[in-house]
Structure 1
Amino acid sequence: MGDGGLTQIGDGVWAVVRTPGGWGEANTGLVVDAGTASLVVDTAWDTRLARRIAEAQQPLVSRAPITEAVNTHSDGDHWWGNDTLPATARITTSAAALRGMREDLPPAAVAALAAAGRPLAALPGMLGAAAAYMRRVPGGARLPLRSPRLPDHTFDTVLRLDVGQRPVQLERLGPCHTAGDLIAHVPDAGIVFAGDLLFIGSTPILWHGPLENWLAAIDRLLALDADLYVPGHGPLCGPAEIRELRAYWVWLEQAGREQYARGAGPLEAARQLVRDPEFVRWGVWIHPERIVLSLSTLFHGWDGHPPAAPTVVRRARAFADAETLLRELSAKR
């Protein structure tokens, strides 16, 4: 839901599920121990939406104040709304995610780049294409004018948070999508908040890698055998949808390696792969052009580079390729 409305998804557990789960449409959550305390999972980067979510939570937390919050990773659409949290709430993330938050572009810079994309998009070549795609990323969100509050509590591998009498188990499974991806498991409700380790109905992006870590993370999520999973983007899901995401990554790794071995670059490889009959099953996901973003990361690794967040130059080149592929796909429809 894009209006800040909360949906109850379990005993004392709510979520704001924003579909279809495109750029910036990140899901958030709330865990309440009635009459005691509450925990928030992720915050929206659109300042208007973040405030609406905070207002919608008030009746649920009036007698169970928010004492804890969790940011699942470093992408701004999952934590740039942290200023709407109570000042007394502790915010936890992984140590690797906190480093990423400090290193990433601040919201004002992202907003400026998106605004600059309008005139620059008319330029020919990589610069124009990258600028055009950058304009798509904020998706009309009103980003904060200044950098929001950072988490003040970190962990490395696993951590248990007590929300009143309810345990919430945090586990870092990154680096995968980003350097410090974590999940929040609410065992007494049978619910897992998976952050961007799960994109459902929305083409995932491998920014950091390695991909084998993401496959291991998916296996870990399945092993938890939860009743319900809240993805970072897209609708609530169960094991079947998670296995379909895993199948996509296995296919992309194998098919991408074949293209890499024959000397193709990420864009040419993506052009070939979206024509692969096997791709039909995933081509219905939104943002199919994002296949080239993940191929950029995979090719970078196969070139011998260690896993790392993309540099500004590498991200710009990948965005240019994504815009080019998107235009080609749109022209065929």
Structure 2
Amino acid sequence: MAKAFASQGDMTEKKITFTEVGDGLYAFTAEGDPNSGVIIGDDSVMIVEAQATPRLANKVIECVRGVTDKPITHVALTHYHAVRVLGASAFDAQQVIMSETARAMVVERGQEDWDSEFARFPRLFQGHEDIPGLTWPTTTFRSRMSVYLGNRRVDLMHLGRAHTAGDIVIHVPDENVMFTGDIVEYHSACYCGDGHFADWPGTLDAIRAFDVDAIAPGRGDALVGRDMVNRALENTADFVSSTYRPAARVALGGGSLKEAWDAVRAECDPKFADYAIYEHCLPFNVARAYDEARGIDTPRIWTAERDAEMWEKLQG
């Protein structure tokens, strides 16, 4: 009997944790579900990542209201994936910010991504009927911009391709804390289905160069202290390279996608099998690694139909 597709069978509610990672800075985490971040300025609040639906976004708002009554004026979205952006309407923010590349990816593949993610992980789309449509930014930038929440400066930067082509990080220099989106994970599998394996390690190095005191990662616990930050950076780099190397060897040798899947499992299962969403991510990761090794630089668009076809080929 074939396994249930992706995370269709994962309906267990996750415990929410709201962790202070710096003065007025918080990480909203939920045992491997998508994280959000909170940046409280002198007179207003920025949210990092909007969750998948307005209903889930309201859980973030409840936590925010437990620590401040300042208005939420900005939402920063690190990339275009549906589980990160479709809850944005709940915040009623003045500005919704993405990189220019991320906005272009909404144009190119936003609806397809929504449709495929909804089928992969239904629990994350609780209250999906309240989503008003695709999330569009009001503000975009190419490589760097700063937002001032009163006197608090927040730097938004594209440091390189990694989880997607349009990833950004958000750095708060007065506390030396960074919100990385899915470029960095902690004891959670990296989703690489739209990723750039060759570029990802360099982007991690660019983050490492900031020598930050804390990171709110895309998934997993908040990373407080440089030792924990560095362990997470090293572990994420290991996950990415351990996925790509065996898949590339098979692809470059003329082997099949199924052979690449077996090779990646042999390398990654002993190290990462207990990570959150590992089984969910693995087939998408192998498919993208196999493509990249064969010279396909732009990740192919995932559709619900392509998802199912790939899953059947690898899972049986």
Does residue 33 of structure 1 match 2:41? yes
Q: Distance in 2 between matches of 1:185 and 1:294?
A: 28
Residues 26, 209 of structure 1: CA spacing in aligned structure 2 closer, same or farther, 3 A cutoff? closer
Q: Distance in 2 between matches of 1:149 and 1:305?
A: 28
Structure 2's unaligned 5+ residue stretches are 1-12, 224-228
Structure 1's unaligned 5+ residue stretches are 115-133, 326-333
Q: Distance in 2 between matches of 1:11 and 1:203?
A: 29
Residues 70, 139 of structure 1: CA spacing in aligned structure 2 closer, same or farther, 3 A cutoff? closer
| Cα distance, 1:282 vs structure 2 | 1.9
Which of 265, 269, 291 is the matching residue for 2:260? Answer: 269
Does residue 48 of structure 1 match 2:55? yes
Count residues with an aligned counterpart.
296
Moved more, 100-109 or 278-287: 100-109
Identity of aligned residues (%): 21
| Cα distance, 1:138 vs structure 2 | 4.5
Structure 2 equivalent of residue 92 of structure 1? 97
Task: State how 1:244-323 maps to structure 2 within 5 Å.
Answer: 244-276=235-267, 279-289=269-279, 290-312=281-303, 314-321=306-313
Does residue 142 of structure 1 match 2:150? no
Q: Distance in 1 between matches of 2:65 and 2:285?
A: 39
| Cα distance, 1:26 vs structure 2 | 0.9
TM-score (norm 1): 0.79
Deviation string for 1:189-248 (max 9, x for gaps)? 221100011122121122334312111111111111111111111112311121011122
Which of 23, 42, 47 is the matching residue for 1:11? Answer: 23
Q: Distance in 2 between matches of 1:252 and 1:30?
A: 32
Q: Distance in 1 between matches of 2:297 and 2:155?
A: 30
| Cα distance, 1:250 vs structure 2 | 2.1
Per the alignment, in what secondary structure is the counterpart of residue 168 of structure 1? strand
* Partner amino acid, structure 1, of 2:196: P
Cα RMSD of the aligned pairs, angstroms, is: 2.7
Structure 2 equivalent of residue 331 of structure 1? none
Q: Distance in 1 between matches of 2:16 and 2:277?
A: 23
Task: State how 1:114-263 maps to structure 2 within 5 Å.
Answer: 134-136=119-121, 138-139=123-124, 141-143=126-128, 144-237=130-223, 238-263=229-254
| Cα distance, 1:81 vs structure 2 | 1.0
Residues 254, 2 of structure 1: CA spacing in aligned structure 2 closer, same or farther, 3 A cutoff? closer
* Partner amino acid, structure 2, of 1:110: D
Structure 2 equivalent of residue 118 of structure 1? none
* Partner amino acid, structure 2, of 1:318: M
Q: Distance in 2 between matches of 1:274 and 1:39?
A: 39
Larger Rg: 1
| Cα distance, 1:292 vs structure 2 | 2.7
Q: Distance in 2 between matches of 1:192 and 1:104?
A: 28
Structure 2 equivalent of residue 110 of structure 1? 115
Residues 155, 215 of structure 1: CA spacing in aligned structure 2 closer, same or farther, 3 A cutoff? same
Q: Distance in 1 between matches of 2:154 and 2:173?
A: 7
The question of whether the paired residues in 1 share the 8 Å contact of 2:197 and 2:241 is answered with no
The question of whether the paired residues in 1 share the 8 Å contact of 2:89 and 2:132 is answered with no
